[in-house]
Structures are given as C-alpha cells and as structure tokens.
Structure 1
Amino acid sequence: MYNTGFNDFLYSNRVLPYKNNEKWKQIKTNYKFRTREELKLHNSDIVRQMRNLEFNNGLYIYENSKGEILYIGKGVNKGVGILERIKSYSEKACLENYVPKNRRHENLMDLFRSSFGEINIYVFNIENDYEATAIEAMLTRVLNPVYVDKYLKNNI
C-alpha cells in the first residue's frame, strides 16, 4: 500500500530513477583491502570526484557491480556530510584490521566486504534534513537495499 504512494511520489519528483537522472551524480570507486597509505590515495580520489559535485548534503545509494543496491543513507552538514560518510565507510571496509564499534558497524562492514570490487555511489543533493530523512525512508522502502533485507528485516 505505502510502496505505491512512495513510488509515485519519488518518480513524480524525479528522485527515481536514480540512474541516468541528472539529479543524481555518480561516484565510481573500488573496494578492496588497502594499507593506510593506499587508503589515503583512494579517499583522495573520492574527494576529487566529490569536489565536482559542489554539494555535501543529501542522500547516497551504494550499488555493487551486479547492480544490487547495498545501502541507502543520508548526510547533512549539520551532522556529517556525504563526503565524510563515504570516506568513513571506505576506511572501515578497506582496512583489514578495523574493529567494528558496534553491531551496526559490524553488519555494514560485512556487507561492504562481501561486495568488494567496483562500487557505484549515487549522490543526490537535499539541503533540508527533514526532507532528506523522509526521502531516505521512502527510497529504502521502495528499493529494499540488501542491508535492510539481510540485517534489519528480522529486527523491525
């Protein structure tokens, strides 16, 4: 019931589809185990790609090389922006000796490490935190990312 309304809203406001949509910008990266020095170079490449976007607030979608949506999240400057989130996930997933702080981090790292290889990150600019939260929830409901299906469904 909700999915139809959410789907209609997301398409009518051009939030979906996220591929081949001028509102979504794509960042290409590759997840694999790296040394700290290699990770600095990897993150500087992400920073370079993000600079071209001219924004740091909004939503992001992680997609693996099979086209599976892994994770949907948001970042806003009041808290932590998109760039900081992406760099943080990259660091945690790609450092072999990273020890997760909690169950959520452990699940995210398990998810990202199981998808090592080419990762596409799609980012969407939204300045308003409330709007970003609502659209993130709708996207999660409609797109059903692997993280929700694998780790959260039994806990909801």
Structure 2
Amino acid sequence: MRSIRPVLTLALAVAASVLLSACTSAEADPEEPSNTRAAGAAVTGTAPVMFAFTCRTGKGDATETYTTYSAVWEDRRASCTATRTTGSAMSDQQADAVRAADGTATLDELAAWCAVRGAGPWAEPVRTAHAAQRAAGLLAYCPGHPEHDRLREALATYRG
C-alpha cells in the first residue's frame, strides 16, 4: 500500500491542476490562460504548461503538494520544486519570462521560484547581472506574487 501513495498523490495533483490554474496573469495565480472559450466550443491547439509544487513544510523531511501558486503563498513555503503536470507548450507570458531571464533560469525554475515566498530572489537584494536577469524573468512570470513590488524595487535599485 505504501508504494501506491506517491502514485495517488501525483494523480490527485495532476487531476487538481487540470481543474485549477497556476502562475501567468496579473491575478494571484499566474498560469491561468487569458483566453476563454464559450461552452461547447471545440478546443484545438496546444495548452500552456501547468505545474504542481512539492514544498518542504519545515517539519523535518515532510513535504506537501500544491496545485496553485496562491495555495503555496498562503502557506508561506520557502522551498519548493515544480513538476510539469499538463500542457504541451509555453504560453506567450511563460516564453517572455524565460527570455527575460536570459539563460539564468528555465521555465521549471521560474515556476518553482514563483511558488516560494520570503526566500530566494523574493527576499534577496539584486546585486549581480545574473540576479537581475533572474529577477526580470520572475517579474514577467509572476505578476501576482505577493512580493512582486519588493522584487521590482530591488531590480530598479540595482539598475540605478
């Protein structure tokens, strides 16, 4: 029965991620597609990449899995990994964020950093070109992040 639990957890995360959106709009969860279709309309083409997040809870090696950024932000997690759950292509916003990061972060890394709060790029000053590129990528990827303004100010200070 123990070997089934991780499979069930991942299956639930995948199912929930289909129902819930994640990190790419100006709302709290940035990966929600900006275009909507009328009920009954045929859906064609590709879907943007969506993620689930496995975050340390701070209680030893314990982790918790989330399907939206806002749920992670609410629990104030500071250490997460992102796992692609659905989608076949980056949205325009995701692609813009990866370009803004200019080789300093992959889409998966931006997603994982977008999930955390009070740690990493969101809490550190921007002191290097590498950190500035990563910050630019995060600002493009996570406009609804609770610490977006702080990171934007840190980047502006670095750029002087």
- Per the normalisation by structure 1, the TM-score is 0.30
Q: Which has the higher strand share?
A: 1
More helix by share: 1
Higher RCO (C-alpha under 8 Å, 6+ residues apart): 1
TM-score (norm 2): 0.29
